[in-house]
Structure 1
């Protein structure tokens, strides 16, 4: 072993970002016996309510990390979801039970992402292999023959961390990605999305709805879903509407009353407004530095696959890093395979499906909207087509096709399935 190789073997893997994807990466590395340093700008773990859906393929991976049981104890199992029209009502119901012979998790698990972060934070804080550095910001990245040097700033000033590799899980505004000079190509929707959560049980006011509902409308589509804490409504905000107007209490109340009248008003327990993008990084790695999750790709939330695909990125990468660190694999081949496969999945599955889902909800042309609804009805009515549709929606298709973290020589065989 060369001096550089020996030095790298003694260094931790640095993970930038302590959101759900970064924490999964850290937990996966620690489980493999690899020391980890997690760097996070926020002083404490985030309590972001934005993502809340965990699909079957993701639950399989999280079960291997030993956290799926606890997630189920706190989460909400949703086997059926609806595609609806705001004027015509139910268009199609999709039952993940059709996948029961393929996965132990034939459903969506609804659980706000902050709970997964909390669970993993509790585990990692007690793990001697893991150093958690909250209140610390990445300001620079430099790769060299000895690994990677990460410049960080904390309360004590600016200094340097050494690592064998760097995992950039620091979100859509990724400092790691900017330091690498990687383009984040794509576009931003003109509308912003607004999420409002209420403790009111919307099923009592909207009989017949499922726990997850995608509701098409040419003027104002809706996304309604239930979580253990609340019901959540997502709707578009016009470009000309200011943030202050969109989030004013009277506006939020009017929007909720537009769903179903409720004398006395809706208690709003949380709300967020944010821009929505369809973007993919030009490349997912540079030397010993790799991008995962929102740092690598960001998409519309319609389909609930952004968080899930980010977790798949993290597990794929960390399985490869474990083989590299153990001296069992060629570093370039492994990291190239990660970058190529995860980029392909981001484009062919995540971006393509979320864009199609969003466009289906907001379609304004009557003929195209009717054709889309007819297609959804036909898919739901045919068990074989419905099964194929839900294999893709649950990310099982991409995982069965490409695997997660398979050695480079095994990927073509998996991709041919």
Structure 2
């Protein structure tokens, strides 16, 4: 029997992990990325315990941990009083996972490690600068038209995994609606060398509740492994981009976290982007499947987006492996959407929206209630474990496996 080929569209972390997991299950793989090189712009940085288990399953965990920061704790702070409200300790999950911590590092490092691992497989073809322009499906496979430096070409595969991001060409070619909405405010990301842990005693992951200007604060490894901090803030809808991105505004926002008394923060990078809560109406069209941001996007509070994309990758590879002879009529193929779309709608979307609302709550009574609940949860080992099982996605993994 001719070896089945999986065509993966998208050379980001979800696409690379999908390709690697498929190669390890005996498939021939073609990985297509429209850009000519790996995207190294600051993106998702938090990898949860459940996802670390999956990264371990494809043989990348040791190198991945080496290029990141291990974060056992994470905090909730009341920004109005600069008060630590609750500190959560992943170590309470030590009997639930071999990785009772998160790893903080840039997503392009996972791509680099995964590509090196992929190069060890003889039936893997990785192509950067190869943009997909058309898809044609029939009873036996998928024909993918691409445009690259060598001109136009057509490739043939058994199945296609569309992991090409929120603006997914694959999703658009399938005419699948991306249902949901866009938040009115934008998110501003500032990266600085300032050591917030030393200055305020915060954990590597800290969420700052504030009725005026909430924030997220994260330490990441950096390419030099010297560490740097990212701060995320909401940008008002009625303020223009130039003002939001200005030096004065950046300094003002960071000084609200720790006041340097007029001394400037060293800014290493800044970014401003729109944030969406959307889920594809379908995760599958015959032989073509969607994964990662191509199928779902959400606000970054809680760090669930990329993690769920990696979960998609492993689920999809296993689904293909259980599909005998590449028959598109196999019932197991429908299970992928039942599991991944259901979990995204019922958990990820709701959880990330709730995370945002908790940080930005303006009503004094509701604010006090939310913060008090967090403090009580962190103080009770049983409640803290239940909370961390949800935030680490361990609970959603178990729930997904229960969906037949």
State the TM bucket, normalised to the shorter chain.
over 0.9
Q: Which has the higher mean CA deviation after the structures are superposed, 307-316 or 245-254?
A: 245-254
Question: Cα offset for 1:264?
Answer: 4.2
User: Match of 1:29?
Assistant: 22
Corresponding residue for residue 270 of structure 2? 271
Alignment TM-score, normalising by the size of structure 1: 0.91
Of 339, 342, 352, the match for 2:340: 342
Q: Which residue of 1 aligns with 2:225?
A: none
Deviation by residue 1:112-131 (Cα, 9 ceiling, x = unmatched): 11110111122223432211
* Aligned partners of 1:55 and 1:308 also within 8 Å: yes
User: Are positions 1:125 and 2:119 aligned together?
Assistant: yes
CA RMSD, 1 decimal: 1.7
Conserved in 1, the CA contact under 8 Å of 2:91 and 2:101? Answer: yes
**Contact (CA 8 Å) 2:286, 2:328: kept in 1 or not?**
no
Give runs of aligned pairs for residues 1-16 of structure 1, distance below 5 A.
9-16=2-9
The match for 1:394 is: 392
Q: Could you tell me which residue of structure 2 aligns to residue 359 of structure 1?
A: 357
Provide the C-alpha distance between the structure 2 equivalents of 1:379 and 1:260, rounded to a whole number of angstroms: 27
- 1:212 aligned onto 2:227: no
| Stretch of structure 1 that moved more, 87-96 or 180-189 | 87-96
Change (3 A) 1:232 1:93: same
Q: Give the match for residue 90 of structure 1.
A: 84
The TM-score with structure 2 as length reference comes to 0.94
1:41 paired residue number: 34
- Corresponding residue number in structure 1 for 2:47: 54
Cα separation, 1, equivalents of 2:127 and 2:56: 26
Secondary structure of 1:332's counterpart equals coil
Cα deviation for residue 378 of structure 1 reads 2.0
Tell me the secondary structure at the aligned position of residue 231 of structure 1: strand
Partner of 1:292: 291
The answer to whether structure 1 residue 253 and structure 2 residue 251 are counterparts is yes
Distance in 2 of aligned mates of 1:323 and 1:282: 24
> For each residue in 1:166-218, what CA deviation from the matched residue of structure 2 results, as whole angstroms up to 9, or x when unmatched?
00001111111111111111111111111111112112222x21111111111
SS at the partner of 1:312?
helix
Matches within 5 A, 1:58-207: 58-88=51-81, 89-206=83-200
When the two structures are aligned, how many residues end up with a matched partner? 397
Alpha-carbon offset, residue 140 of structure 1: 1.5
Long gaps (5+) in structure 1:
1-5, 404-409, 413-417
Q: Which residue of 2 aligns with 1:407?
A: none
Distance 1:252 1:378 in 2: 34
Query: Given the alignment, which residue of 358, 378, 381 partners 2:379?
Result: 381
Deviation at 1:240, TM superposition (A): 2.0
Higher alpha-carbon deviation: 120-129 or 211-220: 120-129
Q: Distance in 2 between matches of 1:331 and 1:97?
A: 44
Q: Quote the offset at 1:14 in angstroms.
A: 0.7
Asked if the contact 1:11–1:162 (Cα under 8 Å) also holds between the matched residues in 2, the reply is no
Residue 7 of structure 2 contacts residue 30 of structure 2 at CA under 8 Å; is this kept in 1?
yes
In structure 2, C-alpha distance between the alignment counterparts of 1:323 and 1:390, rounded to whole Å: 31
- The answer (yes or no) to whether the contact 2:215–2:232 under 8 Å persists in 1 is yes
